[in-house]
A and B are shown apart, each in its own frame.
Chain A
Amino acid sequence: MSKEKVIEVKGLGASYDELVVLSDVNFSAYKGDITVVLGASGSGKSTVLNHLLGLYPVNKGFVSILGKDISNITEKEQLSLYLQMGVFYQSGALLNSMTVGENVALPLKQHSNLPDSLVEEIVYMKLGLVNMQHAYHYFPSELSGGMLKRAALARAIVMDPPLLFCDEPGAGLDPISLASLDELIINLQKKLGISVLMVTHEVTSIMRIADRIVYLENGVVAFEGSLKNALESNVESVKHFFSVIDEADRFK
């Protein structure tokens, strides 16, 4: 691999009190790739993500993001790292006290001195990318689940981050919204060259966008490789996961 590594995880371990969730996780994600993290519910995908985001301290092992070792990182370095990454949370995590527009504008307003009118135009445009312009003045509590997701994605990409983290962006979306979400992410990847680390269970989505697959099981990475290799993998659980597609083929 000649590509630059944007994420590198070596020997990462994590536990909640007695419960060991991750024992020895190793994988890498490369620049310009869409890397999908898979695994059964409760296998620790969100836990891995929280370590990458610096929300949980790395107690065992080594994690580097965009070339920075985050296990011993100063607050200032972490902040500048945050400016280079967009995060999409599983629950949306929009601030309830602000409108959708204000939510999306928040990072832009806090980290730049742009005139308000320009900020507003950028926010409109970003909301347009996720087809949510009509919701500019709505409060999060007035949105449906899928709309919340799209608004949250608009907020995650408002700063044009080179690295985007997504925890289950597709869950709860209808197939058409899902397809346009995938198209948007592919567009961002192709045209801006951003790298994406995504947790998702949507097989159709994975087939469309994934470059690489990381499969978590029993606290370790059971499979890591390209989508093509994953489809032909001998690992039992990976095989099982993708067997859904073969079942769909029956109807063709």
Chain B
Amino acid sequence: MENNNSKERYIALEKDFIYRFQDNTLFLSRSLLLPQTIWFTKKIPKELKSFKVKNIILNLDELQDIDSAGVMALFHLKDKLRKSGISARIEGGSQSILEKIELFSPGQLPYHETPLKPGFLERTGNAVSHFFTDFVFGFITLAADVFYWSVSDIFRSRSRRKGEIANQAVLIGVNASLIVIFLSFVIGLVIALQSSGQLRTFGANIYIVDLTVIAMMSQMGPLITAILVAGRSGSSIAAEIATMKVTAELNALKTMGLNPIRFVVVPKLYACLITMPFLIIFANVSGILGGGVAAYIYLDITPEIFINRMGTVMQNKDLITGFVKSQVYASLIVLTGSFFGFRVVRGAEGVGKVTTTAVVVAISLVILADSILGLLFY
């Protein structure tokens, strides 16, 4: 046995890079830097284990250079050997090598326990209760707050910046009008166009007017408008508030004695409540116009006939439901945008996340509300 150990053996680290092993001692040589550590940690433990010795000395006398990765690799090796029942000791080394080892010696690794993973039922329960306490309750609280301030601030303009409502009305409403008008026109045109074939086979050409007007006024107009506004302004409201939060602007507002809800959210709500009905009217008008164009081209219904018929189809009820819808959607969009904006965590990255969530949730809520209102006003 003894005989066996005094024999010289070699471990090749890389090509032309060989460590000598003799008398239970591994002589490290040349340099142990980041590029060498990869082979060092992969090869040495295996080879040493194959030598079947119990005590190993790692001799550093011939080692010329070492860096932090090298030092860690040394300790890593010791650890690994210990786990497979081999005790290792470090020996020798020049002054500068020892200094580096001292500087980079690993501290006590902090012990962190992995928390017990909750079971499926517990997780489901947690998620449900989290959904209600965090989202539903949080949303309702914010809604209550916003409505309280928006009612009490109607005639008090001191709590907000001068001209802020007009400013927001331009951003949320006026700037959205072109796209709303254009898309409604296209949709009205397409609806009329696709139904025209069916109507013609029954000789019921004139009903194209009923169809377009009812579809646009009671459903498509408000819905298209709300979805567009949710996409444009829901996202920008969320992003703006989230950015203000991560850059501590909201804190600055508070410590200046300004309420972020009154200062930031309420003007946006006013602006959206005011502009939304007009956007819906634009959408209705241009959608019906689109339908009229299709009716004229495909069913030979002249504008005169179209307008006459329209007078009999339109009901006051449609105008009222349109207005109610505009107010509900506007509130939902502004509230959802601000709710997610206020919820941002984790810096700039979080801003992107809450913005996406805000848009998705706002559009879903709008569609949900649309179906509920549809049932109510049917």
Q: Which residues of A contact B (CB under 8 A)?
A: 96-97, 108, 112-115, 117-118, 121-122, 124-126, 128-129, 133-134, 136-137, 139-141, 158-160, 187-188, 191-192
The answer to whether B346 touches A121, judged by C-beta atoms less than 8 angstroms apart, is: no
The answer to whether B100 touches A191, judged by C-beta atoms less than 8 angstroms apart, is: yes
CB distance from A135 to the nearest CB of B (A): 10
Known A160-B69, A191-B103; contact A115-B347, beta-carbon cutoff 8 A: no
Please pick, from B69, B112, B347, the residue contacting A141 in the complex, using a CB distance under 8 A.
Answer: B347
Q: Produce 1/0 per residue, B39-52, CB < 8 A to A.
A: 00110000000000
Q: How many A-B residue pairs have CB under 8 A?
A: 81
Complexed CA–CA distance, A129 and B105 (Å): 10
CB distance from A20 to the nearest CB of B (A): 31
List B contacts of A133 (CB < 8 A).
107, 109-110
The answer to whether A141 touches B346, judged by C-beta atoms less than 8 angstroms apart, is: yes
CB distance from A92 to the nearest CB of B (A): 11
Known A114-B37, A191-B100, A191-B103; contact A122-B68, beta-carbon cutoff 8 A: yes
CB distance from A132 to the nearest CB of B (A): 11
Please pick, from A108, A115, A128, A141, the residue contacting B106 in the complex, using a CB distance under 8 A.
Answer: A128
The closest CB in chain A to the CB of B96 belongs to A191
Please pick, from A112, A136, A192, the residue contacting B100 in the complex, using a CB distance under 8 A.
Answer: A192
Q: Produce 1/0 per residue, B235-249, CB < 8 A to A.
A: 000000000001000
The answer to whether B68 touches A96, judged by C-beta atoms less than 8 angstroms apart, is: no
The answer to whether A115 touches B41, judged by C-beta atoms less than 8 angstroms apart, is: yes
The answer to whether A136 touches B110, judged by C-beta atoms less than 8 angstroms apart, is: yes
Known A96-B347, A113-B38; contact A125-B104, beta-carbon cutoff 8 A: yes
Mostly, the A contact residues are helix
Complexed CA–CA distance, A93 and B102 (Å): 30
The answer to whether A118 touches B34, judged by C-beta atoms less than 8 angstroms apart, is: no
Complexed CA–CA distance, A107 and B107 (Å): 22
- Tell which of A112, A113, A122, A192 has the most Cβ of chain B within 10 Å: A122
Please pick, from B34, B71, B345, B346, the residue contacting A159 in the complex, using a CB distance under 8 A.
Answer: B34
The answer to whether B109 touches A124, judged by C-beta atoms less than 8 angstroms apart, is: yes
A-B contact pairs, 30 of them (CB 8 A): A96-B346, A96-B347, A97-B349, A112-B34, A112-B38, A114-B34, A114-B41, A118-B72, A118-B73, A118-B76, A121-B75, A121-B76, A122-B68, A124-B106, A124-B109, A125-B72, A125-B104, A125-B105, A125-B107, A129-B103, A129-B104, A133-B107, A139-B346, A158-B68, A160-B34, A160-B68, A160-B69, A187-B103, A192-B67, A192-B100
The answer to whether B107 touches A128, judged by C-beta atoms less than 8 angstroms apart, is: yes
List A contacts of B140 (CB < 8 A).
none
List B contacts of A114 (CB < 8 A).
34, 37-38, 41, 69
